[in-house]
Amino acid sequence: MGNVYLLNATIALKDSILQEGFIHIKEEKIESIGKMENCPSLTAADRVFDCSEKGYVIPGMIDIHVHGAAGFDFMDGKQEAFEGIARALAKEGTTSFLATTITNPVSHTSDTLKSLGWYKEDSNGPGVAEMIGIHLEGPFINKEQKGAQPESAIIVPNADLFKEWQELSGNTIKVITYAPELDTDFELLTELERTNVIPSMGHTNATYDESIHAIQQGVTHATHLFNGMKGMHHRDPGVVGAVLLQDDVHVEIIPDGIHFHPDLLKLIVKMKGLERILAITDGMRAKGLPDGEYDLGGQQVTSLDGKCTLTSTGSLAGSIVTMNDVRLNLAKWLELSIHDQVQITSMNQANRLGLSNRKGSLESGKDADIVVIGRDGEIELTICRGAVGYERSGAFG
């Protein structure tokens, strides 16, 4: 878009709030941020947004675990689906994401990973949410904790197959959810560490001792905490107990009021601190659409009253919560400041993925991934790498 200006804005900077501020965007980057009295001339501006009647301006949110939205799923394996999801995510204030797979036959997963690699490299331009990598969820999981993952396609961890998939994806896989108790001699974990891929415990039936051993060997992440893992028991604290007690483990949470009781957030924060919590949506193709029947990994899912379940078993099957709903829920349930909201929806994710040099906070030189929030918390404007990805009708005249 060239030169874009946000004026008269209340800007959530990394460590402070800038009142009556401006942001100058040049091409895909933030050129400068400052007080309105120091704002450059607007003679060369291509677009100006007056934020005087808005709420906060915050960094774009980052969803590291999302399967789909707007009727599309990444496992559709088509560019139309990838583009449709990227457009839809911008509407909820998400400017970056990890395209998340689901357990499927090896051949289909291979085709999807290859297509996603091509999309990231060649087609995912500004103006839509950026695909910053792939989250490989399955197929190396435990059938006892499969949740909504198709059991017929679950296989044991296989380092050689992972190497093949990583090559097919163009080295785009950044996180893998797997069951470490099934990883013989931690062969897969060794390969993940070698290639700097985040190993995440999920859909795992590990005992507490097995979980601790995996963490000691290098597992540093837990997928959708409480869900798809052995829960806490007073005689076996399970995966949940292990990841809460080990300081080095980061945890994903789905704060939709369905996947776990909201009061457990207080326990998570006390045990992990805000800096090791990453809010996700685990969104599926029904997100943004009416109640009805939808597909997830070849299985029928019922979306009803905000809850997604496998039609056949009633098991939870992802969510339709948006990242902005996640932010608002966290703010309400934990009484989080705007800085804390940013940390748990953007900054932590950027740090975790090694992208803090260009994402996660509003600073000169970083990607122009910017969200303007209305005074009621709604998304008014999303800018994705310098181009408008979403503008609420009538929000800026």
Query: Annotated binding residues for Zn(2+), as ranges?
Result: 137, 203, 224
Rg of the chain taking only CA atoms, in angstroms: 21
Residues 6+ away with beta carbon under 8 Å from 213: none
Residues 244, 276: Cα–Cα separation, whole Å: 10
Residues 48, 42: Cα–Cα separation, whole Å: 8
Q: Pick the catalytic residue: 183, 282, 367, 369? A: 282
Residues 114, 173: Cα–Cα separation, whole Å: 11
How many residues are given for the chain? 397
Is residue 256 part of the annotated active site? The answer reads no
C-alpha neighbours within 13 Å on the C-beta side of residue 174: 22
Cβ atoms of 323 and 279 closer than 8 Å: yes
Please give the annotated binding residues for substrate, written as ranges: 148, 227-228, 235, 259, 316-318
Residues 344, 340: Cα–Cα separation, whole Å: 6
Specify the amino acid at residue 255.
P
Identify the DSSP state of 90: H
Could you tell me which of 21, 243, 51, 228 has the C-alpha nearest to residue 137?
A: 228
Please give the annotated binding residues, written as ranges: 137, 148, 203, 224, 227-228, 235, 259, 316-318
Cβ atoms of 69 and 89 closer than 8 Å: yes
Cβ atoms of 27 and 43 closer than 8 Å: no
Could you tell me which of 253, 280, 269, 257 has the C-alpha nearest to residue 335?
A: 269
Cβ atoms of 103 and 141 closer than 8 Å: yes
State the angle between helix axes of 187-194 and 159-168 in degrees (0 to 180), rounded to the nearest 10. 30
Kind of pairing between the strands at 130-137 and 292-296: unpaired
- Please list the active-site residues: 282
